[in-house]
Amino acid sequence: MRATTITLTLVGFLFTGVFSLSLAQPTQPVPWHPCAQITAACTQAGFVPYGAKLGVGIAVDCIKPIMAGTPQRKQATKPLPLLDPQVVVACKERNPNFGMDGEQPLFAFRTSR
């Protein structure tokens, strides 16, 4: 029993070390969909779903200006996140309507009823 516990603990430490080393290398590209990278950057910058009235709407104040290459609207209260232009180009290639009016977002946020 004790040998099994020690073995499992060592295996756990091994995997933890492997995964933490892979996460510590920021120079490698994230293997996500490029549009998901844009969404994640906007979220990390403080933009939120349904935040348009406060000037922090993820779609209208962040994703749409990035995808359209236009300035933010005057009501926006946070600056756009810095993104690699290649990510935007890759997103446009995969989903040209991403972030534009009437298009489904990459990730749908559900509200409770």
The pLDDT tens digits for 77-89 are 999 999 999 999 9
Return d(Cα 16, Cα 22) in angstroms, integer: 10
Model-level pTM greater than 0.75?
no
For 101, residues 6+ apart whose C-beta sits below 8 A from its C-beta are 64
Q: How many beta carbons lie within 10 A of that of residue 100, not counting itself?
A: 13
* Mean pLDDT in residue range 20-39: 66
> Domain ranges in the chain?
30-94
30-61 residue pLDDT tens: 457 999 999 999 999 999 999 999 999 999 99
Instruction: Determine the distance from the C-alpha atom of residue 13 to the mean position of all C-alpha atoms in its chain, rounded to a whole number.
Output: 28
Residue entry with tokens 């409770």: 112
